[in-house]
Copies of this chain bind each other. A is one copy, B any other.
């Protein structure tokens, strides 16, 4: 017999899918509750308010994203492929976590010009995680002095790929384009190193 997930987990599951596919404003609390089969009071008891629930869901999603990315990074055969694994992870994530409209973190950021500190922290952590690991992966390739620059450039291209998906591009095409451009940038930096 299946053990049913707790109301708390059902809320996190529900809001993650809804935010990833519909966004914050298009996801009223009622819809979250209906999908999670949970009552309003339970949501507010656990998370305080809608934003608190979203912040928690994003924290969890970032952890999962990190794990998925690590798996892709471990498969990489060369230092360059290791940096570029961030693009493979995008496709891998979709297969595992399900489809999203573009990027859940950037999407929430775009929708919340003002936000509480918990939500803000969750969004900041996404950019920080990407930057930190890209820098770590780039270091063997371009050296200490240029690793930060490499991370910034790859993050820019990665962000561009996500934006192209929002513009309506097919993910496979955008990822392939981005991977190619990022490789160029890395080789250019590597030549300077």
> Binary interface profile of A, 152-193, with partner B (CB < 8 Å = 1, else 0)?
110111111111101110000010011011001100100000
Contacts of A156 in B (CB 8 A): 157, 160-161, 163-164, 174, 177-178, 181
Stoichiometry, copies per complex: 2
Q: Is the interface of A mostly helix, strand, loop or mixed?
A: helix
Distance, CA A166 to CA B113, complexed state (A): 10
A152: chain B residues at CB < 8 Å are: 177
Q: Which residues of B contact A174 (CB under 8 A)?
A: 156
**Residue of B whose beta carbon sits closest to that of A168:** B127
Q: Which of A101, A107, A155, A157 has the most CB of B within 10 A?
A: A157
Tell me whether A62 is interfacial, beta carbon within 8 Å.
no
Task: Report A123 CB to chain B, min CB distance, Å.
Answer: 9
